[in-house]
Structure 1
């Protein structure tokens, strides 16, 4: 006969004799008093939170238990691990997963929890461990060290790391990256649990421990040095952001590469006279390169075409004559116009070569071309003027 509600409450007070209440017709969903339950001894999870956190969780379960605990019978469990008989004790069921719910309920004195019995989970150690671990792995409830212990237990049950990876449809690295954390010393593992040692560095340290056999002191010393390197890199990056980039200095070879400006040079006559009685002219030295600002091509062409010779570029005038020098506010006439280039000519007997050598030494190719055409025009006019007019 099924006990009524009042009778059930009376039974709850007697932990050892409290009955198991069937809450469903199929008999699988049961309300089981806590003293009739035992956690399994192969759960890799060890951190269930502080007492305060468990009490908060227990009060939540008292208001409403959303999820029932999966359990197996004591008999089915001890067939897999008979060595656990003493630890399990005289209970009816062993919890598969949900030990935190059991601890939370115990923290506030909750009398019972709803459970689902399923002995199929205890078919083999492999199936039981899969049920214990998979819920936490899939929900990422484990801390990294607990997960490493769980994967290690699975490898022992499945036989190989490859078998575990294939069962959970993961790569081989998924297994090795977790098991390597078990090489860390307890103090280093505590840093991982508290997330003071990030997993990236923890796995790197685990590989170093494997290669070099480091003890705990050496592991912690490596992490201290690694943190110092991180701080130095961070400070260097911050300093680089605060410091503006320096302007690039112009070197002497770069200065020399700047195109020189045209500078007219007045030739200096040598002391004495040439053998033919004309003034001897010494070729001028090439002017030093001068840096100039780049001008637009059209403006430069116009200035080169319209500007006449300067005083420094003119040859010495004839004896008794005065050379006319165009001023800056009076432009010379274009070639071919009346009076063009009037008032300055080469002295008699003086060749073009010394003059051209002195003037063209510091010119660019375009300026030399223009000057050559200009001087050719002047020579033609000189020769034409020197010919006797026809009767």
Structure 2
């Protein structure tokens, strides 16, 4: 690859580093000073900073790894062993002057995704029972989950994304036009899918009550109108490490106020003016990792949303956390404009 795409100066802001990572899609940036490697920053470093409520305007050198693992061209053959042992997906290759000459990526070596933890017996539940009212008139004929993104339905794209990390056990909750969904996947191929049929709409969490006696390990839940480009095994590792009962996958979303914003002092006079300020928020995108114990909080045969389950779990003293991804890693097709953006970002 063109290494220059992942080289950054240590003086740039964390916010600018995030943009660099998004553009390169490599989840790592090499920090340079006088053409020498002085550190690296990964999406994991940025995630930890976000979870500390860190200011994204600070310099990236504050969060970079000052002693990254590197190899030289003569010992590059150790790359696979080191990546396996250290759970890293990339190693810079430097010469005797610490100038970067190359970088080795796990994906390039093995042409498969790196799994951070054992994902055996972890199911994926896809909520595909909704009417998709925001996408009418298309959903008058086709259920939302089968709307094509390019030439592949969105639900099938979700499944294929999880398959890249060797998740093999899928549940589709269905209601609206359920026979069409079942017919499609009966013909689609060798997917290990079980259908959970709602007798009436049960919201974004209600149908999970139908799996209370089935799911024995932690499991993913995802809406059927989103794609999240992240390493799902890493989410599992993070969830288990923190002993969360629910981990909410969230996106770092930028909002720019298109006006000058005044801050007033106690007497009502202008204290300062910010011109078109930018704010970042962690927003719920519709993907979760749950422990089966929280299913006891879902009433049977009752409309119940995931936000209600999260609130109830917190009220009951359960440990609930978030796993941030960048806004660029979240693709949404909930509305026509979002659907067009998804197609554009996937280059299809």
After TM superposition, the score normalised by the length of structure 1 is 0.19
| Bigger strand fraction | 2
Q: Which has the larger radius of gyration?
A: 1
